[in-house]
Structure formats: structure tokens, C-alpha cells
Structure 1
Amino acid sequence: MSLNLAEKAQTAAELQANQRLTGRTPDALAADLGFTTAYLDDLLHLRPAIDPADVWLLRDHLEREVLTHGGTPVPYTVLTEPARAAATTWFNLRPLP
């Protein structure tokens, strides 16, 4: 599954919006997932050389964190549940820790 430029921009905006809604620092979020802060930033901006499975892991983690803290996550328009079904066939998606 390869995203076009518009889908990448939309997904990055949604990830970043949900990151802000968590109220948690990038260092804390990165540590939750065993990522470096620099790699978390690469994921949030969908930079080259990231693992697509990590994007899905981050997506799920941010959504869970927003919900856990009583917020309403920004909906994902590209990384949807139907897209997850397709991504599962392409990438080694992992459950949240």
C-alpha cells in the first residue's frame, strides 16, 4: 500500500493532531513504543525510510491515548479500518504493547 502525496499529507496532519490531543510529550510517546524521538518525528511526518507497520502502531497508540484521557481523536481518513485489512496483507502489523 503506497500513499500518494495528498494521502501522505492528510495522514501526517491527522497523526500530528492526535499527538497534540494526547497531551503527552514526544519523548513519552516514543518511549511507550520503543522508538527514538527522532523516529517518532519521522513517523509523524511520514518521512522516507519509515516502516509502514510503525505508522499503524503509532496511529493506534495515539488514538488509544486520546481516548484514555477522555478526548475525541481526530478521525483517520486514509488509515481506516478497511485500509487496515488491506495493510495486514502487505505489512507485518503488530498489536499495541
Structure 2
Amino acid sequence: MSLNATERLRTSEELKTNLRLSGLTPGEAAADLHFTPRRLRDALDASSDPADVWQLRDYLEHAARDAGQHPTPYTVLTDRARLLARAWFSLRKAPRHDFTAPS
């Protein structure tokens, strides 16, 4: 399962929108996910390891909700697509950002 150029662009836009909605900085997201800054950029561009993109998707969806926002729905990385992705990739559980801890 791989994304075509249109799907990558749409997914990247959705990920970046949910990062903004979360109120988190890229540095905070990278730290929570144990990603390097480059690995986070690649995941945000939907051009990296698909397991990273899925983990980032779940992380940002939770973070946006935890920040009191309504996350932008994912049009490519849907729950149905997750079932197919599990057959291809070892998906990882997304961490949660601790919004109560000082940044």
C-alpha cells in the first residue's frame, strides 16, 4: 500500500493542519514521538516510512482533540485504510502529549 502524489499531498496538508490545531510546535511533536526533526518533516510530508506517517496521524488526531479542537478528518488515512495498512506495515501506538506539563 503506497500513496500516489495526490494522496501524499492531501495527507501532508491534513497532517500539517492537525499539527496547527494541536497548538504543539514541531519540536514538541518530534520529542513526544522520539523522531528527529528531519524524520518529523518527512512524516509531515507523507514521504517517509508509512508506519511513521500512521503514528504521526494518530498522535496529531489525539493532540488536536486534547487541545479542545476538532481535528481535520483524514481522507486517505482512514480507519478502513488502517485495516489494509496493518497487513503491510507494523503500525505503532501513538504517544500522547502531556498538555499539563510545562513546555
SS of equivalent residue, structure 2 residue 10: helix
Partner of 2:54 in structure 1? 56
Residue 24 of structure 1 aligns to which amino acid in structure 2? L
Partner of 2:99 in structure 1? none
Partner of 1:26 in structure 2? 26
Runs ≥4 residues deviating over 3 A:
none
Distance (whole Å) between structure 2 residues aligned to residue 61 and residue 55 of structure 1: 10
Percent of residue pairs bearing the same amino acid type: 53
The unaligned stretches of length 5 or more in structure 1 are none
Distance (whole Å) between structure 2 residues aligned to residue 74 and residue 89 of structure 1: 26
- Residue 10 of structure 1 and its aligned partner are, at CA, apart by 0.5
Distance (whole Å) between structure 2 residues aligned to residue 95 and residue 24 of structure 1: 19
The unaligned stretches of length 5 or more in structure 2 are 96-103
Q: How many residues are matched?
A: 95
- Residue 46 of structure 1 and its aligned partner are, at CA, apart by 2.1
- Residue 81 of structure 1 and its aligned partner are, at CA, apart by 0.1
- Residue 38 of structure 1 and its aligned partner are, at CA, apart by 1.7
Q: Aligned Cα RMSD in Å? A: 0.8
Distance (whole Å) between structure 2 residues aligned to residue 56 and residue 32 of structure 1: 15
Residue 10 of structure 1 aligns to which amino acid in structure 2? R
